[in-house]
Amino acid sequence: MVDLSRFDSLISLASFFSTDAKCKAVLRESRWGNEVACPVCGSTHVYERKDGRFSCADCNHTFSVTSGTIFENTKINLRKWFMAMYLISSHKKGISSLQLSRDIKVTQKTAWFMLQKIRSLYNQSVPELSGDVECDETYIGGKETNKHEWKKTAGTQGRSTKTKTGVFGLVERSTGSVVAKTIRDSKSSTLIHLIKDYVKEGSRIYTDEYIGYHSLKDSEDYSHFSVNHKMKEFVSGEKNHTNTIEGFWGQLKRMIMGVYHFVSAKYLQRYVDEAVFRYNTRALEEGERFQLMFSRSIGVFSYHDVRFAA
């Protein structure tokens, strides 16, 4: 089996995956090893046809090495797919469709399609967060003139979701694992619901003073600490802050503003997933990150998926 984590540069990746046939051979080996299995019935009574596809002797299903992967039915060379996966995961702020189109010689439309497909691999496998957990929301998009007024003052100012899309984020301090989800509103019920979904009971929750979090004060499930942002001064060693999640917001915004410029509400979750993936795999080497994406692209989950930043 090829160790995909050893690719430490685009040139080492491109040299190894020198032809489309090589890419297919590695896909085949990674998916099935020595025994090709039918994706429908699981049978290994499978025949390889002259056209390179496979037929199942038990259920007659015909399939290819890319069936059921993000590369299914693609007309784009697999070498370009693998390079695109490497590029998007190795660039710290992501890569625009325009840049990718130039780097791998495809149209911008094709590059956009590839990036969206690759982003679908980022959907978060979410561990339950516990211990000290910071929660916060941020707002993305909206009018040009409002773009720098991201956040925020206590109360409701700056939290309008009329022109912006909200994102709710949680981070477990001990591991630095982030979970972030787009939200339709910033009502207390919406935020508390998400906290219950992702945070283990008994955890300590740190938020700002937004009224939406006030009901946590009476919660039997969590201890709640709120940060007064008017008291700007941050005391070293002080636990009562939301600096970790704010650091993640900074990265998310730099990626969206700096590389993608504009993201519609419809696709925002995918970009958020991309930023979360990058953040949660920050301790991995380039090759390890590529290996993780590769295994997801063929629907196989590696140990890194169990706990990202462990």
Measured CA to CA in angstroms, residue 49 lies from 55, 76, 129, 205 at distances of 7, 22, 48, 58
Which residue, 10 or 40, is less far from Zn ion as judged by CB?
Answer: 40
Determine if 56 is a binding residue for Zn ion (CB under 5 A): yes
Which residue, 39 or 247, is less far from Zn ion as judged by CB?
Answer: 39
Among 23, 38, 114, 121, binds Zn ion (CB under 5 A): 38
Which residue, 58 or 197, is less far from Zn ion as judged by CB?
Answer: 58
By CB under 5 A, which span of 32-40, 83-91, 98-106, 155-163 interacts with Zn ion? 32-40
Determine if 41 is a binding residue for Zn ion (CB under 5 A): yes
Measured from the CB of residue 25, what is the shortest distance to Zn ion in angstroms?
22
By CB under 5 A, which span of 27-35, 40-48, 264-272, 290-298 interacts with Zn ion? 40-48
Determine if 43 is a binding residue for Zn ion (CB under 5 A): yes
Measured from the CB of residue 36, what is the shortest distance to Zn ion in angstroms?
11
Measured from the CB of residue 67, what is the shortest distance to Zn ion in angstroms?
12
Report yes or no: 104 and 84 within 8 Å, Cβ to Cβ: yes
Measured from the CB of residue 59, what is the shortest distance to Zn ion in angstroms?
3
Q: What is the rounded CA–CA span in Å between residue 256 and residue 41?
A: 42
Which residue, 59 or 300, is less far from Zn ion as judged by CB?
Answer: 59
Report yes or no: 304 and 284 within 8 Å, Cβ to Cβ: yes
Which residues sit opposite 135 in a β-bridge? Answer: 170
Which residue, 47 or 301, is less far from Zn ion as judged by CB?
Answer: 47
Which residue, 33 or 42, is less far from Zn ion as judged by CB?
Answer: 42
By CB under 5 A, which span of 39-47, 202-210, 274-282, 283-291 interacts with Zn ion? 39-47
Determine if 40 is a binding residue for Zn ion (CB under 5 A): yes
Among 6, 22, 61, 241, binds Zn ion (CB under 5 A): 61
Measured CA to CA in angstroms, residue 246 lies from 135, 178, 252 at distances of 9, 11, 10
Q: Residue 248 CB: number of other CB atoms within 10 A?
A: 22
Total of chain residues touching Zn ion, rule CB under 5 A: 8
Which residue, 41 or 306, is less far from Zn ion as judged by CB?
Answer: 41
Determine if 59 is a binding residue for Zn ion (CB under 5 A): yes
Rounded CA Rg of the chain: 22
Residue of 195, 143, 178, 135 lying closest to 272 (CA atoms): 178
Contact residues toward Zn ion (CB under 5 A) are 38, 40-41, 43, 56, 58-59, 61
